[in-house]
């Protein structure tokens, strides 16, 4: 094969990679990765599974887990919900963006490969959420009440830092209504 064709192929491959990187970083590829949290999807466990809400659920492509909030001192249950598990880079990036609403008994659990400092933004959000950072042992380290972006904002400037291996996103006020605080614990199965 002529070395000139190999050079053309290498340039074409590099250009394709640059376009893919640009599409991913701008969110243009997000529709190809799924719709994130779909509150109109059917409950994956089906009706009559003992779940209080058998209507909305996470997108069918996501695994799910029950998240139980417990008082850090007494172990008493403070609240529980079903959470979609965002455990890949593309699912964490998409998160709850472009989601119209989140049912009261649902959330999204972001799972990172290792504990660390992470910053979450309100990219393309249409409702406010609580952003709860959780250590590897389940202890809550930080809670942010994040309002929905304004009408002329995309949410990228609303930055919420914290430390942990997990981040739970629920409707804004969920933690306050249940008395969930820093030092309390989340229990879930992955």
What is d(CA 110, CA 144) in angstroms, rounded to the nearest whole number? 15
pLDDT along the chain (190 residues), means of 10: 54 46 38 42 45 44 93 97 94 87 93 97 94 98 96 92 98 98 94
Polymer length in residues for the chain = 190
- The pLDDT score that the predictor gives to residue 6 is 55
172 & 83 share domain: yes
How deeply is 149 buried, as exposed, middle or buried, from its count of CB atoms within 10 A (0-12, 13-18, 19+)? buried
Phi, psi dihedral angles at 166 (to 5 degrees)? -125, 155
Tens digit of pLDDT for each residue in 108-117?
Answer: 999 999 999 9
2 & 72 share domain: no
Which residues fall within 8 angstroms of residue 50, CB to CB, at 6 or more apart? none
Tens digit of pLDDT for each residue in 126-137?
Answer: 999 999 999 999
User: Structure pTM?
Assistant: 0.71
116 & 163 share domain: yes
140 & 174 share domain: yes
């Amino acid at each position: 094969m002529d070395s000139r064709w190999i050079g053309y192929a290498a340039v074409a491959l590099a250009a394709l990679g640059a376009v893919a990187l640009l599409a991913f970083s701008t969110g243009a590829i997000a529709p190809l990765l799924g719709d994130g949290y779909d509150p109109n999807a059917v409950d994956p466990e089906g009706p009559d599974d003992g779940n209080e809400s058998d209507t909305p659920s996470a997108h069918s492509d996501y695994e799910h887990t029950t998240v139980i909030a417990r008082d850090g001192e007494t172990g008493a249950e403070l609240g529980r919900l079903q959470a979609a598990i965002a455990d890949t880079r593309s699912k964490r990036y998409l998160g709850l963006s472009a989601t119209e609403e989140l049912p009261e008994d649902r959330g999204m659990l972001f799972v990172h490969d290792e504990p660390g400092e992470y910053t979450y933004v309100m990219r393309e959000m249409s409702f406010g959420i609580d952003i709860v950072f959780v250590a590897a042992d389940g202890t809550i380290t930080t809670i942010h009440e994040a309002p929905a972006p304004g009408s002329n904002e995309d949410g990228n400037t609303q930055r919420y830092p914290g430390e942990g291996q997990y981040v739970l996103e629920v409707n804004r006020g969920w933690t306050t209504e249940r008395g969930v605080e820093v030092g309390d614990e989340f229990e879930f199965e992955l």
